[in-house]
Amino acid sequence: MRTAVIALSILLGAGVIAATLALRPTGFDRCVSIVSRDIDDPVKLAGATLDPRDVEVQAAKICAGSATAS
């Protein structure tokens, strides 16, 4: 019985660690979120609206190096 509890706790701990690593944002994800915020801020100040998908696409292009920031 004790061995089963130890084995179960080890498997549960390994599952938690694997889930944490799988859900951790990558550098690209962080870059897109930061650049998206930067693109979106001046738009809010100017009163214009942009489609959030367009903002994310623009940010992804900048993070991937295929576009430059304006």
pLDDT confidence of 47, banded at 50, 70, 90?
low
Q: pLDDT tens-digit profile of 19-46?
A: 888 887 777 778 878 777 776 666 565 5
Say whether pLDDT at 7 is over 60. yes
How many angstroms separate the CA atoms of 58 and 42, rounded? 14
Measured CA to CA, the distance from residue 42 to residue 46 in angstroms comes to 6
Query: Can you tell me the distance from the alpha carbon of 16 to that of 47, in angstroms, rounded to the nearest whole number?
Result: 44
